[in-house]
C-alpha cells in the first residue's frame, strides 16, 4: 500500500479525530515548536551564568611547546583560562571514549587533529570569551600529519598516538567475522567473481542545533546539574560519575529539546567536560555552545570506510559468497559509539538480504590526524556502510551477468519460511518477507515501463 | 537517465544486554507509568527524542495498551532525576527497546487494573474482558468499568481486593530478546545533464517494512528525512581534507547539505512483517532511509553512465566527479 492510499484510508484532519492508540495523529510536540516555544540548551539562562569558549588547534599534528595565557587572563571580563596542563594536575586531561580508548579533553603533549581542544576561557559574556581566545599564545612544533588512511600503516608514517605506551604505529584494531577458509574455497570454485573497490567518504551529521552544555555545580551540596545536547542522558551521567569521580546521585543530566542528533550527540565531547570543570572552578553556572564550524570539524563524523568488495556467483545469478576487506579511518582517537563487542559496529550484516553459502570480512582500523568519532549520522551502527557495500556489489554482479538488478535480488532473497535466519556472520534475522516488498516498489515505480523507457546507447546519459 | 535499485536489511534496537554494552552498561531501557486518580497518566522513559516525535509515539504506544487517549498521557524524558535508567536513543533503538518498555509497563498497569476491576464488578478476573479503555463482565457488556473509574478506585477510599496496594503504577526494564530487522526496497530514477554532469533525482520510490506501524505520519517523516540525507551523502556531502590536514568542510558553504530544492516528491509505500519478539511487532525505522538510499542513488547514476563505460564511481557524485567518470578518469582518492 502506498502512503498516499493509506492517508486516504484514515481520518486525519485534526486531533479531534485522533486514535486511542496506533494510527495517524498530529504530533503533540509540534504546537510548541511551531510557536517558537521549544526549549533548547542554548535557551537555558541562569543567574550569574558565565560563558565558555574553546581554543582549537589550527593544525592537524604538532607538539605543543608552550602556551602563554597571561594576556587572556588579564582581560577584564575573563574569569578563568584553563589549559591541558592545569587539567592534568587534576587527572582530568584525558577521558575514556565510548570505545575503550582515551581522548584528550584538552591537549597536553600534542595536538592530533585540526580543531582539537587546546585551552578554554570562561568569561562574563560570550563575546569576551571569544575575544580572549585570541590573546592566548600557543607555540607549536609542527609535525607531518597522517591524512590518507591508506598510508597510515606505512613504516615511515609518523606515530600519532605516542601517548599510548609502546605504540609504534597507527594501527587501531583488527576485526574479523565469518569463515575465511570456507569463503575462500567458495570463491576459488565460483564461475563468476566480481571485485569492486569503493569508498564511503567521511560525512557529518550536521544537526540544526550544534552541541553545547550548561553546567551548574552547587558547591554547598555538591550537586551538578548539566543541561546538555545528549541522546543518552543516563549513560552520560554514569560516565561523568566514573570520569570525574562525582557521586552519581549528585549528578543530574537534563537533555531538553534537542535539535537533531543523528548519532552525533551520543559521544561525550571535551566541551561538556570543560563546562563541568569550569563550573566547579568558578562556582558559577557555565554555558558552552559550539558554533557551526566547531561542530563540523570536531564532533563525531561518520563512515570513512575504504572497502574492497568481492562477490561470487554462478553464471545463472545465484550468489554464493561475499568477501570484503575494509580500511577504517577512526581519526585521532577511537571514539566510536558502538557496543564493546562490536568495534566495527554491525558491519557484519554485509551479507544483506540474501541467502548465501559463505561470507568473510576483515576490518583494519587506523588512526589518522582527523577528528575522532566514526559511528554517527543515522547509520544503524555501521549498517550504512555494509548495505552500501552489498547493494553496490549486487548491482556490479547484475551488470556482469547482464541481468535485471531486481530479478537478481529476488532470485537470491532469504525466503519467508527461512526466518529466523542465521546469516553466515552469525546475525539472527528475526523476520522478513522480501519479495512482496520489492514487488510493491516495482509496482509503484511502474518498473517495467520505466526500464523500457530508458534511452540506451552511447551519449544517452541524459 | 538511469534507474537504481537497492534492497536493505537493517539490524536495529541494540541489545540484548548479554551481547551488547557500552563501557559495561547493558543496552536495555526502563519505563515507568503512573496513572493519576482522574485517569490521566505520565510515562517516564530513558530514551530521548531529538525531533522524531517521541511525545506522540510513546503516548500512542501506551494509549493502545490501556485505552487512555494520547492527549491524556504526558511523556517525560531527558532528565536523569525524573526517568528510569536506560541507554538512550541511537541506532534506531527507541521503538525496538524503549517502545518495548513502554508497552510492557502499560500491560503491567493493565494487569493491576484488571484486579481492581474484578473487585469493583464483583467477579473473578477470569470473567473480565478487556475492550480498549474498559473491562466488562464476559457476556454482559453493560456491566463495565472504565480505566478512569479504576484509576479513581485505585486512589480512592473504597476497598481494594485483598492484598492489593493502592495506586495504579508500574515500572519495567525491558531487555530485548534480539535486534529487530526492518527492511525495504528502494528504486531511484536520475537524470544527468550531459553538458554539466549534474545529477538530478527525478523520482524516488521507497517501500519500507518496519513491522507494526505506530504512527504512519511520523514514519513517513522519518523516511522523508532519511531519503533527503541519502541524497546529500550520495551527491553532495563530504568532509574532505587537504594534504596538511586542513578540514575542507568546515562550514555549510563548503559542506553541502540537501534542501527541498535538491530532492523530488518522495513516493513512499509499505509492507508489514511484524517482529516476532517485539511486544507489538514494531521495528526501528529511524535510519532505514539513510541506510537504503545511497546505494539506490549511486546505482542509478552508474546505470545512467553505462553508455560511457562506467562501472563504478565513488560518492559524493558531484558534477565534477560525474564529469570525470564520463571522461573515463578515476574518482580522486580524497
> Looking at CA atoms only, how far is residue B163 from chain A in angstroms?
32
The secondary structure element, H or E, covering residue A26 is none
Mean pLDDT value across residues A289-294: 98
Phi, psi of A359 (to 5 degrees): -155, 150
Rounded distance between C-alpha atoms, residue B263 and residue B192, angstroms: 14
Rounded distance between C-alpha atoms, residue B201 and residue B188, angstroms: 7
Q: Which residue, among A169, A392, A426, has the nearest Cα to B6 in the 3D structure?
A: A392
pLDDT at A457 over 60: no
Give the confidence band of A461 by pLDDT, cuts at 50, 70, 90: very low
The pLDDT of residue A458: 45
Chain A interface includes B71 (CB < 8 A)? yes
Parallel/antiparallel/unpaired status of strands A223-228 and A251-254:
parallel
Q: Is the Cβ–Cβ distance between B2 and B197 less than 8 Å?
A: no
Q: Provide the H-helix boundaries in A225-358.
A: 233-244, 270-282, 292-298
Rounded distance between C-alpha atoms, residue B211 and residue B285, angstroms: 9
Give the confidence band of A454 by pLDDT, cuts at 50, 70, 90: confident
Residue A142, CA distances (Å) to A61, B106, B321 in order: 6, 60, 33
> Looking at CA atoms only, how far is residue B44 from chain A in angstroms?
13
For B204-217, how does the pLDDT look when each residue is reduced to its tens digit (9 = 90+)? 999 999 999 999 99
Q: Is the peptide bond before B334 cis (omega within 30 degrees of 0)?
A: no
The pLDDT of residue A462: 44
> Looking at CA atoms only, how far is residue A86 from chain B in angstroms?
27
pLDDT at A429 over 90: yes
Mean pLDDT value across residues A87-106: 94
Q: Is the Cβ–Cβ distance between B201 and B267 less than 8 Å?
A: no
Rounded distance between C-alpha atoms, residue B18 and residue B42, angstroms: 30
pLDDT at B334 over 60: no
Mean per-residue pLDDT of chain A: 95
Mean pLDDT value across residues A82-106: 95
Rounded distance between C-alpha atoms, residue A1 and residue A171, angstroms: 49
Name the residue among B50, B55, B241 with its Cβ closest to that of A231: B50
Q: Is the Cβ–Cβ distance between B207 and A441 less than 8 Å?
A: yes
Rounded distance between C-alpha atoms, residue A187 and residue A182, angstroms: 9
The secondary structure element, H or E, covering residue B178 is none
pLDDT at A210 over 60: yes
pLDDT at A314 over 70: yes
Indicate yes or no: CB of B12 within 8 angstroms of CB of A380: yes
Q: Which residue has the higher pLDDT, A101 or A456?
A: A101
Q: Provide the H-helix boundaries in A12-166.
A: 30-34, 70-73, 84-89, 126-133
For A381-425, how does the pLDDT look when each residue is reduced to its tens digit (9 = 90+)? 999 999 999 999 999 999 999 999 999 999 999 999 999 999 999
Mean pLDDT value across residues A38-55: 98
> Looking at CA atoms only, how far is residue B162 from chain A in angstroms?
32
For B242-259, how does the pLDDT look when each residue is reduced to its tens digit (9 = 90+)? 999 999 999 999 999 999
Mean pLDDT value across residues B126-150: 97
Return the bridge partners of B32, or none. Answer: B44, B171
Q: What's the CA dihedral at A171, A177, A181, A183 to 10 degrees?
A: -120
For B256-291, how does the pLDDT look when each residue is reduced to its tens digit (9 = 90+)? 999 999 999 999 999 999 999 999 999 999 999 999
Mean pLDDT value across residues A175-202: 98
Give the confidence band of B176 by pLDDT, cuts at 50, 70, 90: very high
Residue B122, CA distances (Å) to A437, B125, B140 in order: 50, 9, 13
The pLDDT of residue A8: 67
Give SS3 for A110: strand
Q: Is the Cβ–Cβ distance between A129 and A287 less than 8 Å?
A: no
Give SS3 for A460: coil
Q: What is the ipTM of this complex?
A: 0.97
Selected for mutation to probe chain B from A194, A332, A395, A397 (highest B CB count within 10 Å) is: A395
The pLDDT of residue A245: 85
Rounded distance between C-alpha atoms, residue A26 and residue A13, angstroms: 9
Rounded distance between C-alpha atoms, residue A413 and residue B273, angstroms: 15
> Looking at CA atoms only, how far is residue B51 from chain A in angstroms?
6
pLDDT at A460 over 50: no
Name the residue among A27, A233, A371 with its Cβ closest to that of B218: A27
Name the residue among B49, B85, B316 with its Cβ closest to that of A234: B85
The pLDDT of residue B49: 95
The pLDDT of residue A258: 97
The pLDDT of residue A242: 87
Indicate yes or no: CB of B88 within 8 angstroms of CB of A24: no
Name the residue among A399, A406, A460 with its Cβ closest to that of B307: A460
pTM tops 0.90, yes or no:
yes
pLDDT at A55 over 60: yes
Name the residue among A25, A442, A457 with its Cβ closest to that of B215: A25
Give the confidence band of A25 by pLDDT, cuts at 50, 70, 90: very high
Q: Is the Cβ–Cβ distance between A63 and A143 less than 8 Å?
A: yes
For A225-262, how does the pLDDT look when each residue is reduced to its tens digit (9 = 90+)? 999 999 999 999 999 998 888 899 999 999 999 999 99
Chain A interface includes B292 (CB < 8 A)? yes
Chain A interface includes B227 (CB < 8 A)? no
For every residue of A38-63, DSSP letters joined together read --BGGG---TT-EEEEEEE-SSSSEE
Give the confidence band of A374 by pLDDT, cuts at 50, 70, 90: confident
- Cα A192 to its chain centre, rounded Å, is 36
Indicate yes or no: CB of A444 within 8 angstroms of CB of B226: no
pLDDT at A265 over 50: yes
Q: Which residues of A149-173 are buried (b: 16+ CB within 10 A; e: fewer)?
A: beebeeeebeebbeeeeeeeebebb
pLDDT at A433 over 60: yes
Mean per-residue pLDDT of chain B: 96
pLDDT at B201 over 70: yes
For B50-93, how does the pLDDT look when each residue is reduced to its tens digit (9 = 90+)? 999 999 999 999 999 999 999 999 999 999 999 999 999 999 99
Q: What proportion of chain A, given as a percentage, has pLDDT over 70?
A: 96
Sign of CA dihedral A328, A334, A338, A339: positive
Give SS3 for A88: helix
Give the confidence band of B174 by pLDDT, cuts at 50, 70, 90: very high
Indicate yes or no: CB of B56 within 8 angstroms of CB of A239: no
Q: What proportion of chain B, given as a percentage, has pLDDT over 90?
A: 96
Please report residues of A whose CB lies closer than 8 A to that of B298: 388, 392
Provide the grid cell at A112. Answer: 592530533
The pLDDT of residue A376: 83
Q: Is the Cβ–Cβ distance between A237 and A248 less than 8 Å?
A: yes
Mean pLDDT value across residues A65-87: 98
- Radius of gyration, CA atoms only, chain B: 25
Cβ neighbours of residue A9 closer than 8 Å, sequence gap 6 or more = none
Amino acid at each position: 500500500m502506498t502512503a498516499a492510499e493509506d492517508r486516504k484510508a484514515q481520518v486525519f484532519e485534526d486531533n479531534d479525530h485522533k486514535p486511542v492508540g496506533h494510527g495517524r495523529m498530529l504530533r503533540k510536540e509540534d504546537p510548541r515548536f511551531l510557536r517558537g516555544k521549544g526549549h533548547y540548551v542554548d535557551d537555558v539562562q541562569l543567574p550569574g551564568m558565565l560563558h565558555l569558549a574553546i581554543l582549537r588547534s589550527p593544525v592537524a599534528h604538532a607538539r605543543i611547546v608552550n602556551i602563554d595565557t597571561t594576556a587572556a587572563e588579564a582581560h577584564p571580563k575573563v574569569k578563568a583560562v584553563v589549559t591541558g596542563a592545569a587539567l592534568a594536575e587534576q587527572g582530568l586531561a584525558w577521558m575514556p571514549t565510548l570505545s575503550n580508548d582515551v581522548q584528550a579533553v584538552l591537549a597536553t603533549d600534542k595536538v592530533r587533529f585540526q580543531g582539537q581542544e587546546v585551552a578554554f576561557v570562561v568569561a562574563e559574556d560570550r563575546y569576551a570569551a571569544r575575544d580572549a581566545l585570541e590573546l592566548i599564545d600557543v607555540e607549536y612544533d609542527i609535525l607531518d600529519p597522517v591524512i590518507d588512511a591508506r598510508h597510515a600503516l606505512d613504516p615511515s608514517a609518523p606515530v600519532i598516538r605516542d601517548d599510548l605506551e609502546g605504540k609504534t604505529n597507527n594501527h587501531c584494531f583488527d576485526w574479523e567475522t565469518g569463515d575465511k577458509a570456507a569463503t575462500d574455497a567458495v570463491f576459488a570454485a565460483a564461475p563468476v567473481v566480481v571485485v569492486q573497490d569503493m569508498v564511503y567518504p567521511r560525512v557529518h551529521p550536521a544537526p540544526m542545533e550544534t552541541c553545547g552544555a550548561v553546567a551548574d555545580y552547587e558547591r554547598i551540596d555538591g550537586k551538578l546539574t548539566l543541561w546538555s545536547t545528549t541522546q543518552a542522558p543516563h549513560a552520560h551521567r554514569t560516565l561523568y560519575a566514573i570520569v570525574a569521580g562525582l557521586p552519581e546521585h549528585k549528578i543530574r543530566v537534563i537533555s531538553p529539546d534537542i535539535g537533531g542528533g543523528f548519532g552525533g550527540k551520543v559521544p561525550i565531547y571535551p566541551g561538556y567536560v570543560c563546562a563541568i570543570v569550569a563550573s566547579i572552578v568558578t562556582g558559577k553556572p557555565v554555558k558552552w555552545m559550539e558554533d557551526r564550524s566547531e561542530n563540523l570539524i570536531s564532533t563525531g563524523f561518520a563512515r570513512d570506510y575504504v572497502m574492497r568488495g568481492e562477490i561470487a556467483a554462478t553464471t545463472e545469478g545465484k550468489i554464493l559468497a561475499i568477501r570484503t576487506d575494509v580500511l577504517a579511518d577512526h581519526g585521532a582517537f577511537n571514539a566510536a559509539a558502538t557496543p564493546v563487542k562490536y568495534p566495527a559496529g554491525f558491519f557484519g550484516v554485509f551479507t544483506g538480504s540474501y541467502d548465501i553459502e559463505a561470507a568473510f570480512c576483515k576490518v583494519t582500523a587506523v588512526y589518522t590526524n582527523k577528528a575522532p568519532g566514526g559511528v554517527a549520522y543515522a547509520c544503524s551502527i555501521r549498517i550504512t556502510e555494509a548495505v552500501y557495500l552489498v547493494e553496490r556489489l549486487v548491482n556490479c554482479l547484475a551488470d556482469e551477468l547482464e541481468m535485471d538488478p531486481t530479478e537478481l535480488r529476488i532470485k537470491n532473497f532469504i525466503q519467508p519460511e527461512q526466518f529466523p535466519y542465521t546469516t553466515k556472520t552469525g546475525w539472527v534475522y528475526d523476520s522478513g518477507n522480501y519479495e512482496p516488498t520489492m514487488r510493491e516498489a516495482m509496482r509503484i515505480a511502474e518498473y517495467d515501463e520505466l526500464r523500457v523507457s530508458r534511452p540506451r546507447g552511447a551519449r544517452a546519459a541524459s | 537517465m538511469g534507474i537504481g535499485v537497492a534492497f536493505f536489511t537493517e539490524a536495529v534496537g541494540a541489545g540484548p544486554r548479554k551481547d551488547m554494552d557500552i563501557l559495561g552498561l547493558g543496552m536495555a531501557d526502563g519505563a515507568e507509568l503512573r496513572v493519576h486518580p482522574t485517569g490521566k497518566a505520565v510515562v517516564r522513559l530513558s530514551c530521548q527524542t531529538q525531533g522524531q516525535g517521541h511525545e506522540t509515539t510513546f503516548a500512542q504506544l501506551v494509549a493502545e495498551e490501556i485505552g487512555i487517549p494520547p492527549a491524556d498521557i504526558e511523556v517525560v524524558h531527558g532528565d536523569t532525576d525524573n526517568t528510569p535508567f536506560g541507554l538512550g536513543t541511537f541506532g534506531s533503538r527507541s521503538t525496538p527497546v524503549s517502545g518495548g518498555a513502554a508497552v510492557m509497563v502499560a500491560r503491567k498497569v493493565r494487569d493491576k487494573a484488571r484486579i481492581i476491576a474484578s473487585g469493583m464488578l464483583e467477579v473473578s478476573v477470569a470473567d473480565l474482558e478487556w475492550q480498549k479503555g474498559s473491562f466488562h463482565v464476559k457476556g454482559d457488556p453493560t456491566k463495565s468499568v472504565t480505566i478512569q473509574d479504576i484509576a479513581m478506585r485505585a486512589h480512592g477510599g473504597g476497598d481494594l481486593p485483598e492484598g492489593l496496594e493502592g495506586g495504579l503504577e508500574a515500572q519495567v526494564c525491558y531487555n530485548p530478546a534480539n535486534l529487530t530487522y526492518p527492511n525495504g526496497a528502494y528504486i531511484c530514477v536520475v537524470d544527468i545533464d550531459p553538458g554539466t554532469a549534474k545529477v538530478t533525482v527525478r523520482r524516488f520510490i521507497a517501500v519500507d517494512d518496519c513491522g507494526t506501524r505506530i504512527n504512519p505520519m511520523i514514519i513517513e517523516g522519518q523516511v522523508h528525512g532519511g531519503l533527503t540525507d541519502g541524497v546529500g551523502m550520495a551527491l553532495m556531502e563530504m568532509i574532505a581534507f587537504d594534504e596538511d590536514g586542513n578540514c575542507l568542510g568546515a562550514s555549510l558553504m563548503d559542506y553541502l547539505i540537501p534542501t527541498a530544492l535538491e530532492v523530488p516528491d518522495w513516493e513512499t509505500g509499505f509492507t508489514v512483517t511484524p517482529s516476532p519478539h517485539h511486544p507489538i511487532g514494531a521495528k526501528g525505522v529511524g535510519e532505514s532511509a539513510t541506510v537504503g538510499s545511497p546505494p539506490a542513488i549511486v546505482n542509478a547514476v552508474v546505470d545512467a553512465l553505462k553508455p560511457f563505460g562506467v562501472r563504478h564511481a565513488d560518492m559524493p557524485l558531484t558534477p565534477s566527479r560525474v564529469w570525470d567518470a564520463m571522461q573515463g578518469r578515476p574518482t580522486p582518492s580524497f
